[in-house]
Amino acid sequence: MANTSPLLRDGLPGVERRSGLSTKEFMRDYVAARKPVILTDFTKNWAAKGKWTPEFFAANYGHLTHEVKGKKYSVAEQMELIKTSTEEKPAPYSYNLNIDHVFPELKADVEPMLMGRQDRLVHPLVPKALLRGTVKHEIFFGGKGASFPVLHVDLQHLHTQITQLYGDKEFFLFAPDQTPNMYPRPSFPLYSDVDNVFDPDLKKFPLFGEAKGYREYLREGETIFFPTGWWHMTRIPGPSISYGRALLEGTNWNDYLNDTYDGWKKKSSVMAIPAYALGKAAGMLMDLDDAVRS
């Protein structure tokens, strides 16, 4: 009997692959159009390419520790575990390792940036205080059989860039118009309530069986971009090191600001309104800057 998961259905379309794109073409054809794309040559001048290996992280950062599902691992332990990971006993999947906090000196290895100055997470007109709490850069370590456990949409209406720097990774994507089929969790609508997406209970989640998605392998050296609102999750066929980058530009600025404002209100209702007003003013200045540069 064929698997009933829409993630494993035969004949799922892949994601368009492009090379040689200019920033202007990328912004017009994919960011503004809200379409995912795989860039096959974007990392050709990155220092990270060929450098970010398990051996590199074990030798230079092996003493650092991080927590995965309540247990602490050193980076050296993690590198050994991803090499021996199996489907039956997958290595712990390290995600949300914030480069700004853990590996700040490695940011120079992942330049140039995909959006350049149009990325408002690095725009000089954005007050740094407005971005406090927003994670811009992440590293993901994983081994065979590992996966992010939940089909989800990324926080704060941020666009997503993931570059595969060691090994490969399998991606599953669903467009925003598939949201009703994802069964958004009532307590947290950015996560799906479907608890086993590869072998779903279609009596409990019948609409999930009708979902139309994309399935694609991201190969070493390739970069995938998908816009805000796209549901996604990944699986890992072997030792893997990925770089994740949040992206923010004119078309998702106001949604980002609204989401961030909700967070500010919980921390300090007195400061939330001035911070929001400052964000709106900065947005207008950046809109003018974008218009001049386009």
pLDDT, greater one: 4 or 29: 29
102 class by beta-carbon count within 10 Å (0-12 exposed, 13-18 middle, 19+ buried): middle
Q: How confident is the model at residue 3 (pLDDT cuts 50, 70, 90)?
A: low
Mean pLDDT of the chain: 93
Question: What domains can be seen in the chain, in order of their start residue?
Answer: 17-249 (2.60.120.650)
> For 156-192, how does the pLDDT look when each residue is reduced to its tens digit (9 = 90+)?
999 999 999 999 999 999 999 999 999 999 999 999 9
**In this structure, is the dihedral angle defined by the CA atoms of residues 153, 155, 161 and 164, taken in order, positive or negative?**
negative
97 class by beta-carbon count within 10 Å (0-12 exposed, 13-18 middle, 19+ buried): buried
- % of the chain with per-residue pLDDT over 90: 82
Residue 128: its pLDDT value, please? 86
CB 225 within 8 Å of CB 114 = yes
**Residue 244: how many CB atoms within 10 A of its CB?**
19
Residue 292: its pLDDT value, please? 85
pLDDT > 70? residue 2: no
The stretch 51-78 carries a mean pLDDT of: 95
Q: Distance (Å, rounded) from C-alpha 276 to C-alpha 281?
A: 9
> For 251-271, how does the pLDDT look when each residue is reduced to its tens digit (9 = 90+)?
999 999 999 888 888 877 778
pLDDT > 50? residue 207: yes
Residue 255: its pLDDT value, please? 95
